[in-house]
C-alpha cells in the first residue's frame, strides 16, 4: 500500500472488525482513521436513534488526502465528502447509511482517510460500523 493506493492482492492479513460509537456531542466525531500500511473496507454503517423522545439528524463523511491512484487521471481528490448529510433519524428508528462496500486508504507521510460522524443532538444517536482491515506490512 504505502502510497494511498492499496494493492489488495498483496495483503498479509484481513481482519473482520466492527465497532459501535455513541455520539455524545454535536461536534464531528472521528470513527476510524486509516494507519500506515493499511486499507479499511467498510461493509456497512448503521445509525440508530436510541433516545426515547428526541429525533436528530446525522452527517457521515470521509476526509481524504490528495493522491492519484495508478491508472486514474484526476486533479485534486482531497477534501471532505459526505455519505449522508443532514439526514433525519426519528425516535426509535435506524438508518442504513452504507450497505455497499467502500475503501478508506492510507496516505504515507500524512493522515490516512478518516470516517467521521456528527449528530445534531447530543446523546441521541449511535453509529455501528462493520469493516475489514487489510494489512500489507
Judge whether 5 lies within some domain. no
Stretch among 74-78, 85-89, 131-135 having the lowest mean pLDDT = 74-78
Stretch among 77-86, 103-112, 113-122 having the lowest mean pLDDT = 103-112
Please give the Cα distance from 113 to 2 (Å, whole number): 13
8-61, pLDDT tens digit by residue? 787 899 999 999 999 999 999 999 999 888 889 999 999 999 999 999 999 999
Confidence at residue 72, expressed as pLDDT on a 0 to 100 scale: 63
Grid coordinates representing 128 are: 455501528
Judge whether 8 lies within some domain. no
Confidence at residue 106, expressed as pLDDT on a 0 to 100 scale: 82
Please give the Cα distance from 27 to 36 (Å, whole number): 26
Q: What is the CATH number of the domain that holds 75?
A: 2.60.120.340
**What SS3 string covers 9-47?**
CCCCEEEEEEEEEECCCCCCEEEEECCCCEEEEEEEEEE
Three-class DSSP category at 75: coil
Judge whether 94 lies within some domain. yes
Structural domain total, the chain: 1
Q: What residue numbers bound the domain in which 78 lies?
A: 14-135
Residue count of the chain, please give it: 137
Judge whether 70 lies within some domain. yes
Measure the N-to-C terminal CA separation of the chain; round to a whole number of Å: 9
Amino acid at each position: 500500500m504505502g502510497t494511498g493506493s492499496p494493492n489488495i492482492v498483496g495483503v498479509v492479513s484481513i481482519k473482520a472488525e466492527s465497532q459501535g460509537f455513541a455520539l455524545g456531542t454535536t461536534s464531528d466525531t472521528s470513527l476510524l482513521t486509516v494507519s500506515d500500511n493499511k486499507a479499511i473496507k467498510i461493509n456497512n454503517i448503521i445509525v440508530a436513534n436510541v433516545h426515547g423522545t428526541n429525533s436528530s439528524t446525522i452527517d457521515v463523511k470521509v476526509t481524504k488526502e490528495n493522491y492519484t491512484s495508478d491508472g486514474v487521471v484526476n486533479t485534486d481528490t482531497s477534501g471532505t465528502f459526505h455519505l449522508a448529510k443532514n439526514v433525519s433519524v426519528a425516535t426509535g428508528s435506524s438508518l442504513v447509511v452504507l450497505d455497499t462496500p467502500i475503501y478508506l486508504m492510507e496516505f504515507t507521510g500524512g493522515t490516512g482517510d478518516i470516517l467521521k460522524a456528527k449528530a445534531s443532538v447530543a446523546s441521541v444517536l449511535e453509529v455501528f460500523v462493520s469493516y475489514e482491515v487489510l494489512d500489507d506490512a
